Every structure is written in structure tokens, then in C-alpha cells.
């Protein structure tokens, strides 16, 4: 059996490279047969997954190494029936946290070597110009604007170097909180085959998540789980800033959903239309959802070995 490894050495401020520096000598010492496919540039995941699929036999084992973005872009290109393993090497590592995967590369490898398969559900998204899969969350509005500003600004790289990646989300979040405008969103969802609708006139934060965590460990939907087919929507309207700040400790303690300013819906299917163009983040990669475009969300089963 051969381990096919897709790795992003650049993820998590070169954490991917450090994971490889630790893992590869171990594989050599243990005489483990492996082939490494390291990304050399942004957006190369799909191309390497295609190469792996051409060479991989059924008995072989795929391991993805990188942050949540690398994992998401790889799974997007991977045939649904192909199992995968994951060794986290990002700055946020929310997906790994959701399944309590080890962040120690050797421990993670020893665990996946045992070959225990687990079914998880991931989000399938589809609109007029966006389609693919997300393992973590899809956010429209505030969180997307934060991810966009964090990824584009120099602060993430600087704080990653100081091992303060989560702080970069927090500082950027504060800045975006002051400047981001609300938007109108029409959300349909199906609860026990009954069609429901919620019209948000002053939507500010709208996150659809498959597990509790976003932004590097914030428990936005504490009861969400990738082991069931439910997607959790957490929505927050734009309210005066003076009323937002007291809610921040609640969000950090994961007690915010009791607060009436947060709307929480759980369903296996959602469809969303926004009244104007809005930033959208899909597992930390930013795009734009266009006005009046409908985004449909559902879930699909995948197999992960850990
Ligand atoms: N060799 C590379 N150099 C630069 N960018 C790369 C490389 N390989 C992949 N990428 C891009 O990096 C992004 C994914 O980064 P990833 O999310 O894995 O790490 P991160 O952003 O450091 O971690 P996190 O999401 O946990 O904050 C994707 O856009 C991907 O295409």
C-alpha cells in the first residue's frame, strides 16, 4: 500500500513545511511507502488531486496536509466515493478541532494508519456561478468581510509568525465591525419537510456551518456536528455598536445563542438570496454572491479515515 500525500508547504505560515520535515523522516525510518505531491502555487490542489487519482490504486491511502483551505479545495476535486485522511497544518484548523484530530503529525499518522473509517457530512453549495463543497462553513456578510480583510491584509502573516493567528481574526473583526453595512437576505429552509422562510432586513453576520467552529476556534454553533446531515445557520442583525460589544464575551464563551439578537435555524437544506452583492467565504476562501442570485445548500456524505 502506498500513501499518496497532497501537502501545502505554505499553509499556516509554513506549518505545512514543518509538518513534512517531521513526518517524512518518520516515514523513511518506518519504511512506509509514500509519494509526495506538494503544491507550489495557489490553487493547485485540484490539479494534484487529479494526478493522484490517475496513479492511486484502490488499496492506496490519500492524506491531505494543509490548512482548512487546502483541505476544502482538495475535497472539492476528489471523487465522492474516495476516502481521505487529513493532517492539519493551518493557522485556524477548525475542521481538525471539530473531529479532535491530532495536530502532531506523527500521532495523526499513527492514528490514520489504523484505517478506522468515519462517515461525515459536508456542505454542497450551488448557485448560478458558484458550486462545490465546504467542510467547515459558508459565511455571507461580516465573517466573509473579516476573512477577506484578514487574508488581504499583512496582519495575518505578521501575527502567524508570532504564532498569534487567531488574534489577527479578532483585530480585523473589530475593524470590520465598525465599517460593514447590513444587507437584506431571504432564506428558505425545510424543517421536517415543512418549508420555512425568514426574511432578514438588517442581516450582518450569516454563517452556515457543519460543525461548531469558525475563525480559529470560536464556537459559533456549539451543537453542530459533521456526523449528522444538519446545517446550522447563525444569523445576527446589525444593531448599534454599543450593544454589539457586550455580546463579544458571550460569543467567545459560546453562550450567545440564548441572546435574542442571534437567530439559529437548523436544517438539511437552505436557499439564500441577498438583495445586493455580498462577500461570501467558503472554508476561508473568499468570493462574492451576486444580488438576486440564489445559493442552495445541502449536505453529502464523505468518508474520512483517522
Ligand atoms: N505552495 C503554495 N503557495 C501559496 N499558496 C498556496 C500553496 N499551495 C496552496 N496554496 C493556497 O493556500 C490557500 C489555502 O491555505 P490554507 O487555508 O490551507 O492555509 P492557511 O490559510 O494558512 O490556514 P487556515 O485556513 O487554517 O488559516 C489556498 O488558496 C491554496 O490554493
| Together in a domain, 198 and 102 | no
**Residue 187 domain-assigned (yes or no):** yes
Pairing of strands 194-209, 183-191: antiparallel
Residue with cell 456578510: 141
For residue 226, give the CATH number of its domain: 2.60.200.40
Asked whether 94 lines ligand 1 (CB < 6 A), one says no
| Together in a domain, 187 and 233 | yes
| Together in a domain, 105 and 171 | no
| Together in a domain, 159 and 216 | yes
Residue 108's CB is within 10 A of a number of other CB atoms, namely: 23
Domain count, the chain: 2
Residue nearest to atom 6 of ligand 1 (CA): 42
**Residue 58 domain-assigned (yes or no):** yes
Give the Cα separation of 160 and 285 in Å (integer): 17
Report the separation in Å between the CA atom of 16 and the middle of ligand 1, taken as the mean of its atom positions: 9
**Residue 254 domain-assigned (yes or no):** yes
Report the separation in Å between the CA atom of 199 and the middle of ligand 1, taken as the mean of its atom positions: 35
**Residue 31 domain-assigned (yes or no):** yes
| Together in a domain, 131 and 218 | yes
Report the separation in Å between the CA atom of 150 and the middle of ligand 1, taken as the mean of its atom positions: 13
**Last residue within a domain, chosen from 115, 133, 161:** 115
Asked whether 105 lines ligand 1 (CB < 6 A), one says no
**Last residue within a domain, chosen from 115, 138, 166:** 115
- The answer to whether the CB of 220 falls within 8 A of the CB of 234 is yes
Name the nearest CA neighbour of 268 among 306, 233, 218.
233
Name the nearest CA neighbour of 278 among 198, 156, 176, 165.
176
**Residue 306 domain-assigned (yes or no):** no
Give the Cα separation of 78 and 70 in Å (integer): 12
**Residue 193 domain-assigned (yes or no):** yes
Ligand 1 pocket test target in 36, 45, 70, 281 with most atoms within 8 Å of CB:
70
Ligand 1 pocket test target in 7, 11, 17 with most atoms within 8 Å of CB:
11
Quote the pLDDT of residue 156: 61
| Together in a domain, 144 and 13 | no
| Together in a domain, 186 and 274 | yes
| Together in a domain, 215 and 290 | yes
Residue 272 domain boundaries? 124-301
| Together in a domain, 162 and 266 | yes
Residue 186's CB is within 10 A of a number of other CB atoms, namely: 16
Which secondary-structure segment (H or E) carries 179? helix 165-179
For residue 83, give the CATH number of its domain: 3.40.50.10330
Quote the pLDDT of residue 195: 84
- The answer to whether the CB of 179 falls within 8 A of the CB of 142 is no
Written as tens digits, the pLDDT of the chain (306 aa) is 999 999 999 999 899 999 999 999 999 999 999 999 999 999 999 999 999 999 999 999 999 999 999 999 999 999 999 999 999 999 889 999 999 999 999 999 999 999 999 999 999 999 999 999 999 999 999 989 988 888 776 666 666 666 666 676 677 878 888 899 999 999 999 877 778 999 999 999 999 999 999 888 999 999 999 999 999 999 999 999 899 889 989 999 999 999 999 999 999 999 999 999 999 999 989 999 999 899 999 999 999 999
| Together in a domain, 138 and 102 | no
Say if the ipTM goes beyond 0.85: yes
Quote the pLDDT of residue 166: 63
| Together in a domain, 51 and 148 | no
**Residue 148 domain-assigned (yes or no):** yes
**Last residue within a domain, chosen from 115, 148, 180:** 115
| Together in a domain, 48 and 8 | yes
Report the separation in Å between the CA atom of 40 and the middle of ligand 1, taken as the mean of its atom positions: 10
Amino acid at each position: 500500500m502506498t500513501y499518496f500525500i497532497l501537502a501545502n508547504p505554505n499553509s499556516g505560515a509554513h506549518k505545512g513545511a514543518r509538518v513534512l520535515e517531521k513526518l517524512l523522516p518518520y516515514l523513511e525510518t518506518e519504511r512506509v511507502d509514500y509519494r509526495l505531491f506538494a503544491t507550489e502555487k495557489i490553487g493547485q490542489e485540484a490539479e494534484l488531486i487529479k494526478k493522484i487519482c490517475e496513479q492511486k490504486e484502490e488499496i492506496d491511502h490519500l492524506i491531505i496536509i494543509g490548512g482548512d483551505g487546502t483541505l476544502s479545495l482538495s475535497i472539492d476535486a476528489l471523487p465522492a466515493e474516495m476516502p481521505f485522511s487529513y493532517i492539519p497544518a493551518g493557522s485556524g484548523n477548525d475542521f481538525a478541532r471539530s473531529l479532535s484530530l491530532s495536530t502532531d503529525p506523527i500521532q495523526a499518522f499513527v492514528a490514520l494508519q489504523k484505517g478506522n473509517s468515519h462517515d461525515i457530512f459536508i456542505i454542497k453549495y450551488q448557485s448560478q456561478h458558484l458550486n462545490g463543497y465546504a467542510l467547515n462553513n459558508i459565511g455571507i456578510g461580516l465573517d466573509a468581510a473579516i476573512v477577506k480583510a484578514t487574508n488581504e491584509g499583512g496582519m495575518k502573516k505578521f501575527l502567524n509568525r508570532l504564532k498569534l493567528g487567531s488574534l489577527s481574526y479578532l483585530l480585523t473583526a473589530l475593524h470590520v465591525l465598525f465599517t460593514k453595512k447590513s444587507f437584506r437576505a431571504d432564506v428558505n429552509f425545510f424543517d421536517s419537510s415543512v418549508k420555512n422562510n425568514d426574511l432578514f432586513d438588517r442581516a450582518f453576520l450569516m454563517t452556515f456551518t457543519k460543525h461548531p467552529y469558525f475563525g480559529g476556534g470560536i464556537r459559533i454553533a456549539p451543537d453542530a456536528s459533521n456526523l449528522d446531515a444538519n446545517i446550522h445557520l447563525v444569523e445576527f442583525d446589525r444593531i448599534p455598536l454599543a450593544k454589539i460589544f457586550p455580546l463579544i464575551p458571550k460569543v467567545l464563551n459560546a453562550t450567545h445563542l440564548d441572546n435574542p439578537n442571534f437567530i439559529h435555524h437548523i436544517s438539511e437544506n437552505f436557499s439564500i438570496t441577498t438583495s445586493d452583492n455580498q462577500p461570501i467565504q467558503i472554508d476561508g476562501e473568499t468570493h462574492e454572491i451576486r444580488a438576486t442570485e440564489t445559493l442552495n445548500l445541502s449536505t453529502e456524505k464523505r468518508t474520512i479515515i483517522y
